[in-house]
Amino acid sequence: MRHARSPFAIDRRSFSALLMGAPLMLAACRAGVGDGGSSTLRIGDQSKSLQLPFELAGEVEGPPLPFQWMTFTDGPNMNAAFLSDALDVGTMGDTPALFASAAGADVVIIAAGSTAPNSYLQIIARPDTGIRTLADLKGKRIAFTKSTALHGYLLLALEHAGLSQADITPIDVPLVALMRALQSEAADAAVLGGPMIPGYLAQQPDAVVLDAPDGGYNVILAARRSLAHPTIRSALVDFVARGARAGEWLKAHPDIWREEYFRGVQHQDEAGAQALLKRVGIRPYFKTVTAELRTHLERQAKLLSGAGALPPGPIAADLFDGGINREFNQAIEEAIG
């Protein structure tokens, strides 16, 4: 059944107002590029997914601009920082990057990495719901967090089954409440990510894990205003080269990553850390920007627009710049030989 207007429908002006109103402590950040401030490179991170690899691989020593790490709970909050000129660069999932573009954050992707299908994100159904395949999601209550990578992942999975968001009852809850939505039976299924998956399966071993054919992407976004500043642009080129080297270091030291990240940062026990390393592995962040990434984002943008979650327009295309992409792709390729 098609509704006249999705509960998530929003236009560009609403995006900007929503994101600018997020409760962020930004006053302590350095002045914007327009004020000539370039004393640090302001980096948006989530759960130390960038900072820790840099530290473990020794890539924090002697950058052109000192690193100023800023932690965010999710992509939407980081988007607010970009809109406030509080960040030079940051990492998020593929879907939040589309919302940043739609909000007018004026950012460009300078690096990215793909995640394998059914690794970091999956749809998990309670065992008593009758859900066994993606097609069985029709008419069911599905919990996810709108504007995050979980939202885009769900729409891609539904499309594979010939469904859309209009065919389900969406339950929008914060990331930290997704497992609770299943446990309380407020939802029949949920999109879970990372440590939530083995955590819930340990509690509900009979839960149904639905496979979907699409993976996702982690992207590194840079503010165009920062790229226009020669000192910061040079520091950003150096930053992606360091990130590429750090990624190669992690691939050679998976046990250290398991101990320092899955156990130290995500507070998993040994069994949970082993399960996450096997399922998620080393998530890539600093790979080159490809045509496949653009196709993936254009497909997501179309689905999100159809669901009323994004306005129409060249939202995905605005995240790419041929000259910038060639420059940063070259830096990544040279860094890893």
Contact of 330 with 322, CB cutoff 8 Å: no
**CA neighbours within 13 Å on the CB side: how many for 102?**
30
Model pTM greater than 0.85?
yes
Q: Which of 33-37, 94-98, 216-220 has the lowest mean pLDDT?
A: 33-37
Arithmetic mean of pLDDT over the chain: 90
What is the model's pLDDT at position 44?
98
Please state, in angstroms and rounded to a whole number, the distance separating the CA atoms of residues 138 and 161.
9
Domain annotation for the chain: domains and CATH numbers: 12-115+216-336 (3.40.190.10), 121-210 (3.40.190.10)
What tokens does 224 get? 């165009």
What is the model's pLDDT at position 280?
87
What is the model's pLDDT at position 33?
43
Please state, in angstroms and rounded to a whole number, the distance separating the CA atoms of residues 66 and 48.
17
Contact of 147 with 95, CB cutoff 8 Å: yes
Contact of 148 with 176, CB cutoff 8 Å: no
CA–chain centroid gap for 264, Å, is 21
pLDDT digits (tens, 9 = 90+) for 140-161: 999 999 989 999 999 999 999 9
Q: In this structure, is the dihedral angle defined by the CA atoms of residues 145, 150, 156 and 159, taken in order, positive or negative?
A: negative
Please state, in angstroms and rounded to a whole number, the distance separating the CA atoms of residues 172 and 67.
35
What tokens does 112 get? 């990215």
Please state, in angstroms and rounded to a whole number, the distance separating the CA atoms of residues 200 and 178.
10
Band (pLDDT 50/70/90 cuts) for residue 38 is low
Q: In this structure, is the dihedral angle defined by the CA atoms of residues 49, 51, 52 and 53, taken in order, positive or negative?
A: positive
- Spatial strand order in the sheet of 169-172: 169-172, 141-144, 189-193, 121-125, 208-210
Q: Average pLDDT in the 161-169 region?
A: 98
Helical packing angle, 94-102 and 149-160, nearest 10°: 110
Please state, in angstroms and rounded to a whole number, the distance separating the CA atoms of residues 144 and 265.
23
What tokens does 37 get? 């401030």
Q: State the maximum Cα–Cα separation within the chain, in Å, rounded to a whole number.
A: 60
Q: Which of 6-10, 44-48, 72-76, 222-226 has the lowest mean pLDDT?
A: 6-10
Helical packing angle, 94-102 and 12-20, nearest 10°: 110
Q: How many residues does the chain have?
A: 337
Please state, in angstroms and rounded to a whole number, the distance separating the CA atoms of residues 26 and 293.
31
**CA neighbours within 13 Å on the CB side: how many for 196?**
21
What is the model's pLDDT at position 37?
54
Residue the block writes with tokens 């998956």 = 197
Residues 6+ apart with CB under 8 A from 270: 263
pLDDT digits (tens, 9 = 90+) for 60-72: 999 999 999 999 9
Q: What is the DSSP string of 76-98?
A: HHHHHHHHTT--SEEEEEHHHHH
